[in-house]
Amino acid sequence: MNKSVKRTSDKYKPSIANWRFYLVLFVIAFIYLGLMARAAYIQVIEPDMLKKQGDMRSLRVATTQVERGTITDRNGHELAISVPVETVWADPKIILEKNALKMTEHWQALAEVLDQDVKKLTNRVLKRPNKRFVFLERQVSPAVANYIKKLNIPGIHLRKESKRFYPAGEISAHVVGFTNVDDQGIEGIERVYDQVLTGKGGAKRFRKDAKGRKVEILSVEAAKKPQNVVLSIDQRIQAIAYKELKGAVSAFKATSGSVVVANVHTGEILAMVNSPSYNPNNRAKTAIHRFRNRAITDMYEPGSTMKPLTVLTALEFGSIDADTVIDTNPGWMRLGGRRVSDPINRGKLSVTEVLVTSSNMGTSKIALSVPKEFFLDKFFEVGFGEETGIGLIGESMGIMHDRARWSQFELATLSWGAGLAVTPLQLAKFYTILANNGIKRPFSILKQDEQSLAAQETEQIFSPEHTKQVLAMLEKVVEEHVHKAKVPGYRVGGKTGTAFKAIAGGYGNDYVGLFAGIAPIENPEVVVVVVINEPAGDLYHGGEVAAPVFSRVMQGALQVLNIAPSVLPITTSQVRKQKSELAEDDYA
């Protein structure tokens, strides 16, 4: 019995299929090999991906922003500062997830405070449903930001920024310039010194845990503070110049005008104004041409303001002296078939009288007494045809032809300011050389210290003796001919200029009135150049439209700079008046 049972159990003993065993082994090996390959791929071939994923979850960067540097005048008055503002932005994903668009009244209030259409505002969100950042409005005031914060619309956020503010407004707009919405310099000093004024924000990289706690500080980058820019401009003189220029442009119905005030001894620009100007704090709907700094970009034929250069050149060469008499009879002459003339026959004139009467005949004869090369070189040496060194973007070099052949007529017209074009700033530079004993130095829009002045490259263009002689002549011009340029209490010298506006193929019917002057004559300190472009009406001569502006600007500048009044020479009429008063006292 036991044997039969044993045989039956042996007969039904289970057997193992070999192929199943090997299949399981293969699957297990394949899985392990796959895991090993994946691990090798992640660890060896592309480890950065996991690091990036980990950093996205744990690595954070905290930044600190720095405001743009300040621009001030030479006395520390602020011309450009940064004020805190906020930017409104939206998170469309959160807005749609929380169904915030149903808060119609809140969105209407948001649109009104941002001065936008509510439909356009909401469409900006709907068109970007997967975006996490959309600008709604840049640089809103703190009051507006507080109002938006109280609306409490889900997905609407505020971010702190800074906005440029210009306290001087239109008075200094062309010099200071402005920035765009991203605080990048676009015009003027803001653009030229953009890198200096722009600092660099700091950054701290750290790692946090799942609960948001800082567990490791990886790096700290300190913020780089911006630098401030101190201009050579004196805002008090700038305000005086702008007021007088704006009034003159309006009174004479001129197209535009410019005034430049320069320090004789340092080359610093104390004032540079243009009219029309613009408000840099609100440039909406402002015509582009108003942004142009006409004092450095616009060119004009300088007219008779060039006659002192002609006289000074002849004095330097030695073809005339201060006592030379020029025969202008019969009041006209022909040069190569072209006519040069004065309005009347002035006969024989001294060199001083040539300037006082602004004789084209006398100036032409003086110019032709000098060799062509010597005469032309002086025009280039004083700075015509080159930049002044001020460093502002957009400065024009003017037009001063450098060619081998010049006719006598061309040299004659050049002597009284025709056939070349200069900017108001270039004209101011020449008169600064004249006032500074013939020494040429670069102009500067930045305040100069003793070290900077010592490093300046200077050049002696004219002798002090001859410049003083010409200054005395220019004083006679004001005393005897241009009474509107006089400054009470000070000895002043200068020269008027009236020129036709050049057009394609010749000259038009519009004028430019100019006056360039120096004060005080006995010890020159300040140069003022005034240009009135295209005055409309019966008054258009430089002595009528530009000289009165010069007088008031020069008077204000001398008072601001606390320059002592001149010891004025006593005239014959004053002597008679004093004798009369003494006689009356004796009789009494």
Please provide the size of the chain in residues. 588
Q: What stretch of H or E contains 233?
A: none
Q: Which domains does the chain have, with CATH numbers?
A: 56-77+169-230 (3.90.1310.10), 84-167 (3.90.1310.10), 235-279+293-560 (3.40.710.10)
56 burial (CB, 10 Å; 0-12 / 13-18 / 19+) is: exposed
Q: Long-range contact list for 97-104, CB < 8 A, 24+ apart?
A: 98/154, 98/155, 100/153, 100/154, 100/155, 100/156, 101/125, 101/126, 103/153
Given a contact cutoff of 8 angstroms between Cβ atoms, the answer to whether 470 and 516 are in contact is no
Question: How far from 181 is each of 89, 116, 175, 178, 339, CA to CA, in Å?
Answer: 15, 18, 19, 10, 57
Please confirm, yes or no, whether 364 is among the known catalytic residues: no
What's the rounded Cα separation, in Å, for the pair 518 and 482? 14
The tokens of 570 are what? 């006593």
Position 265 scores a pLDDT of: 95
Question: Partners of 221 in the beta sheet?
Answer: 203
User: Helices in 436-536 by DSSP H: which ranges?
Assistant: 450-455, 464-480
**Residue 96, phi then psi, degrees to nearest 5:** -75, -35
Instruction: Please list, residue by residue across 316-339, b when 16 or more beta carbons sit within 10 angstroms of its beta carbon and e when fewer do.
Output: beebbebebebebeeeebebeeee
Residue 49: what residue type?
M
Percent of the chain with pLDDT over 70: 88
The confidence score (pLDDT) of residue 229 equals 96
Report helix, strand and coil shares of the chain as percent, to nearest 5: 40, 25, 35
CB 166 within 8 A of CB 173: yes
Nearest to 445 by CA among 258, 190, 226: 190
357: CB partners within 8 A, 6+ apart? 342, 346, 349, 481
- Integer Cα distance of 55 and 254 in angstroms: 66
> Measuring CA to CA, which residue among 151, 154, 163 is closest to residue 114?
151
User: Tell me, what's the pLDDT at 469?
Assistant: 96
Beta strands in 246-310 (DSSP E): 256-263, 269-275
Residue 332's beta-bridge partner residues? 341
pTM of the model: 0.82
104-113 and 118-126 helices, crossing angle to 10°: 110
Of 565, 584, 425, 433, the C-alpha closest to 491 is 565
Helix 142-151 × helix 104-113 angle, to 10°:
170
415-451 per-residue burial string, b: 16 or more CB within 10 A, e: under 16: bbbbbbbbbbbbbbbbbbbbbbbbbbbbbbbbbbeee
In this prediction, residue 587 carries a pLDDT of: 43
pLDDT tens for the chain, 588 residues: list them.
Answer: 455 555 555 555 555 567 777 788 888 888 888 888 877 777 777 666 666 666 666 676 666 667 889 999 999 999 999 988 888 988 888 888 888 888 888 889 988 888 888 888 888 888 877 788 888 888 888 888 889 888 888 888 888 888 899 999 999 999 999 999 888 999 999 999 999 998 776 666 767 776 667 767 777 776 678 899 999 999 999 999 999 999 999 999 999 999 999 999 999 999 999 999 999 999 988 999 999 999 999 999 999 999 999 999 999 999 999 999 999 999 999 998 899 999 999 999 999 999 999 999 999 999 999 999 999 999 999 999 999 989 999 999 999 998 889 999 999 999 999 989 999 999 999 999 999 999 999 999 999 999 989 888 999 999 999 999 999 999 999 999 999 999 999 999 999 999 988 777 677 788 999 999 999 999 999 999 999 999 998 899 999 999 999 999 999 999 999 999 987 655 544 545 545 544 454 443
Q: Please state the separation of Cα 195 from the chain's center in Å.
A: 15
Distance CA 160, CA 84 (A): 7
Provide CB contacts within 8 A for 191, sequence distance 6+.
177, 185, 393
Q: Which of 283, 478, 499, 296 lies closest to 386, judged by CA? A: 296
Give me the helix-helix angle, 547-560 and 235-251, nearest 10°: 160
Pairing state of beta strands 134-140 and 78-90? Answer: antiparallel
Q: CB atoms < 10 A from the CB of 121, how many? A: 17
> 512: closest CA among 544, 481, 489?
544
- For residue 1, the model assigns a pLDDT of 46
Token digits of residue 370: 């000098």
Between vectors from CA 515 to CA 509 and to CA 519, what angle results, nearest 5°? 180
Positive/negative CA dihedral, 340, 342, 348, 354:
negative
> What pLDDT score was predicted for residue 162?
84
pLDDT of residue 588: 39
The partner residues of 580 in beta bridges, in order of sequence, read none
- Which listed residue (232, 304, 358, 415) is catalytic? 304
DSSP-derived secondary structure letter, 42:
I
C-beta atoms surrounding 182 within 10 Å? 7
